[in-house]
Amino acid sequence: MPGQTEATPLGDYLEIKDSRTGKTYNIPISDDTIRTADLRQIKVKDDDFGMMGYDPAFMNTASCRSSITFIDGEKGILRYRGYPIEQLAEKASFLEVAWLLRHGELPTQAEYDQFTQDITYHTYTHENIKQFMDGFRYDAHPMSMLTAGVAALSSFYPSAKNIHDPREREIAFVRLLAKMPTIAAFAYRHAKGLPYVYPDNALSYAENFLSMIARMSEPRYEADPVYARAIDVLFILHADHEQNCSTSAVRAVGSSHVDPYSAVAAGIAALYGPLHGGANEAVLRMLQEIGDEKNIPGFIENVKSGKGDAKLMGFGHRVYKSYDPRAKIVKKLCEEVIKVSGSTTKDLDIAMELERIALSDEYFIKRKLYPNVDFYTGLIYRVMKFPTDYFTVLFAIARTAGWVAQWEEMLLDKEQKIARPRQVYTGAAERKYTSNLDYTRRVE
Ligand code: CMC
């Protein structure tokens, strides 16, 4: 009935008036959010489906409630379970952060020791994984190998399907964190035509990874401590970033109740895309294209005029509208790594000058474009001599901690169901089928 108002709920609510019917609806608000399912009561006729929200790319739709990671993009804040990223990067280890992400609290010494031992115990993979890796072409992209390798793990641990068994979830978490660097290192060695290096369980997580990457005939590989710490810090910085593309993929695929290896493989596939995990590569290409500090003003002018679709890669972020807090940490780390490597600082000098000019330029200030995490990470990986197409693999190893924590949070959330978005259908109305084909004809 026009002008009718639906029952007023208790607490805050959003009043919506439907101009088609004149009806007013009060939609409850909690956490500055309305439930789009509450819009379904808004109908013109009783047998209508009801109102939906249309939100391509989920730009303004919360798909879950989460207590893992907090981001305030305007203020440049990133916290895991309430702990500021700056403090974790300075003082914690990646394994401590991985534990924190999953359990919500920092581990006690005893818990940490046990966890580290469990991870170490599970670093080896079944020998068939090596043969599986051997089956790839010499020039296979390491992200394809990682995606397939992690998906294959599901066939080695079929009991991981018992996702409602807490012990199975626990062991899958440990196995994924422990075996990811091993499979990643196998992919690296395969591309180089080098023999695979088995894990060295006397080493730390980062040292062992670097050993599997770089060890040759020496009895024990001793990574430079600055490099090992840099890897650990970069893993901390990339460990989680709330509901980004790959994490949403893990949650969506996991919501079908598939095993966690398959769900994480979906996350790796999502991360492989250049719009997600590949920006640090693009920064390096851009720095090399600029080539010299004297070319920076011309490059900036090209970006501003939009000539040739040039963008300042490593700048801007969908969420951060101020300095990405991770970028500050990575910048400092980059300087330290370059110092011990003895490498030329040419790319770093160009990057720093580019940043200085961009941050004082009206174009970038007005659009709130600041360096993001990828602006300096590629430089660190380059100095450590990782091939460019390997950068995303490093990101994937780290993000495994967040993917599994988010997957488990989704599973234990009583409100979650199989992910199944709606659509606004724009195709043909019903029509009669009349075939253009002659099925009695044989194709010779
Ligand atoms: N250089 C120059 N102009 C830019 C840039 C940039 N890097 N980023 C955004 N703009 C401009 C854009 O052209 C637009 O200008 P106008 O209003 O005149 O049309 C304005 O700033 C707003 O940009 P937008 O495209 O609406 O912003 P978005 O939130 O859709 O895009 C972004 C975010 C990260 C895709 C974009 O900033 C970008 O392409 N940056 C370069 C690539 C990059 O560094 N990506 C890594 C992201 S961090 C890693 C991760 O989270 O996976």
416-442 pLDDT, tens digit per residue, is 999 999 999 999 999 999 999 999 987
Same domain, 408 and 276: yes
Q: Look up residue 78 and give its two tokens.
A: 């990133």
Distance, CA of 290 to chain centre? 29
Query: Does residue 66 belong to any structural domain of this protein?
Result: no
Chain segment 389-420, per-residue pLDDT in tens: 899 999 999 999 999 999 999 999 999 999 99
Instruction: Specify the ligand 1 atom closest to the Cα of 363.
Output: 3
Number of CB atoms found within 10 A of residue 418's CB: 9
Same domain, 171 and 25: no
Chain segment 350-389, per-residue pLDDT in tens: 999 999 999 999 999 999 999 998 899 988 998 999 998 8
Give the CATH number for residue 320: 1.10.580.10
Query: Does residue 419 belong to any structural domain of this protein?
Result: no
Same domain, 152 and 248: yes
Residue nearest to atom 47 of ligand 1 (CA): 317
Whether 71 lines ligand 1, by a CB cut-off of 6 Å, is: no
Same domain, 102 and 25: no
Alpha-carbon distance values, 317 to 220, 321, 322 (Å): 41, 7, 9
The helices-and-strands tally (H runs, E runs) of the chain is: 17, 5
> Is the model's pLDDT at 279 over the cut of 90?
no
Residue nearest to atom 12 of ligand 1 (CA): 367
Whether 326 lines ligand 1, by a CB cut-off of 6 Å, is: no
Same domain, 102 and 233: yes
Mind spelling out the 3-state secondary structure of 233-291?
Answer: HHHHHCCCCCCCHHHHHHHHHHCCCCCHHHHHHHHHHHHHCCCCCCHHHHHHHHHHHHC
273 CA to centre of ligand 1 in angstroms = 16
Same domain, 214 and 356: yes
CA 136 to CA 34: how far, in whole Å? Answer: 49
- Catalytic positions, please? 276, 317, 374
The pLDDT confidence band at residue 215, using thresholds 50, 70 and 90, is: very high
Query: Does residue 192 belong to any structural domain of this protein?
Result: yes
Q: Residue 158, CB half-sphere, CA atoms under 13 Å: how many?
A: 1
Q: Which domain holds residue 375?
A: 85-412
Same domain, 225 and 349: yes
Same domain, 153 and 244: yes
Question: Per-residue DSSP letters for 150-186?
Answer: HHHHHHH-GGGG-TT-HHHHHHHHHHHHHHHHHHHHH
> Is the model's pLDDT at 6 over the cut of 70?
no
User: pTM for this structure?
Assistant: 0.92
Query: Does residue 425 belong to any structural domain of this protein?
Result: no
Whether 369 lines ligand 1, by a CB cut-off of 6 Å, is: yes
pLDDT at 10: 67
Query: Does residue 443 belong to any structural domain of this protein?
Result: no
Query: Does residue 119 belong to any structural domain of this protein?
Result: yes
Same domain, 270 and 360: yes
Same domain, 175 and 214: yes
Chain segment 115-171, per-residue pLDDT in tens: 999 999 999 999 999 999 999 999 999 999 999 999 999 999 999 999 999 999 999
Query: Does residue 303 belong to any structural domain of this protein?
Result: yes
Evaluate the CA torsion angle 261, 267, 272, 273 in order and state its sign: positive
The pLDDT confidence band at residue 3, using thresholds 50, 70 and 90, is: very low
Instruction: Specify the ligand 1 atom closest to the Cα of 245.
Output: 52
Q: Look up residue 422 and give its two tokens.
A: 């709606």
112 contact partners, CB below 8 Å, separation of at least 6: 95, 96, 99
Same domain, 368 and 289: yes
Same domain, 257 and 195: yes
Query: Does residue 6 belong to any structural domain of this protein?
Result: no
Instruction: Specify the ligand 1 atom closest to the Cα of 375.
Output: 44
CA 216 to CA 118: how far, in whole Å? Answer: 27
Say how many domains are in the chain.
2
